[in-house]
Each structure stands twice: as C-alpha cells, then as structure tokens.
Amino acid sequence: MAQLEGIQTYDKRLRRDMQELAANMWFGMPLDGQKGGNLRAVYMVFSLPSSANATFGLEHELGEEPLGYVVIGTPTTHVVELSPGVDAASAVLPWTAKHVYLKSPKTDITVCILIWGTDSSGG
C-alpha cells in the first residue's frame, strides 16, 4: 500500500512539474543569432542560394554540434523544404560545432530555422 501511495505522490509531482515547464517554455524572438528563449537553441535567418538543390553551409553560434532543426515561419520568412547538405559523392556532410550544411529546391528566399543542441558539458 505504501508503494501505491508513493506512485500517486510521484504522479502528482510529475504532473505539477510538467505543467510548470509547459507554462514557462519560451521560444524567444526569431532573429538571426538570437538564443531560442529558455531552450538550448539558436535562430538562424538566411537567404537561400540562387541554385536549387545546391548544398550551402551556414556558420552558427550554438557552440556545439546541433542535434536538429525546425523551419520557423515568421511574417518575413518562408517555410520551405530543407534537407541535409551533401558533398560531390552525395554523402551527407556532418554538422560541426560551427557549421550546418543544408540544401533546398527553392531559391533566393529568406528562411528562419531554429537549431538545438544538448548540454554537452554534462551539466
């Protein structure tokens, strides 16, 4: 019986903690180089190159190798298809603590992405 009460107490604490997290999550302003609110993330605003499906590199300020990205629509940017950038042999280019590589079938438009990482320091 004590174990069941412990689970119920844990469930209540978890529910409270998740509600607090959801109520306090903030994405910040989607401006180039800005931190993504209280997330371990940074916004990147850029123009797509003039050549469709051409791999392009972007320098970022995340400070670590990104784990992923999402395309963010804003009043001044477009939501477009993006995919990993590739080299001449069509091998996907790895992302680094300074650069991401992407490509798109669209050209010459402004795009905003949010890239995120993890606490690589272990803290």
Tokens describing residue 53? 């499906």
Q: Are strands 110-116 and 56-59 parallel, antiparallel or unpaired?
A: unpaired
Return the H-helix or E-strand segment holding 91: none
Instruction: Please answer whether residues 65 and 77 qualify as being in contact, where contact means their C-beta atoms are separated by less than 8 angstroms.
Output: no
CA distance 19 to 17: 5
Collapsing DSSP to helix, strand or coil, 12 comes out as helix
Stronger pLDDT, 121 or 57, i.e. the higher one: 57
pLDDT band at 6 (very low <50, low <70, confident <90, very high): low
Range of the domain at 91: 28-116
5 or 11, higher pLDDT: 11
pTM reported for the whole predicted model: 0.79
Structurally, the chain folds into a number of domains equal to 1
Structural domain contains residue 11: no
The verdict on residue 36 lying in a domain is yes
Q: Is residue 122 part of a domain?
A: no
Closest to 46 measured CA to CA, from 25, 61, 32:
32
Residue 19 lies in a domain: no
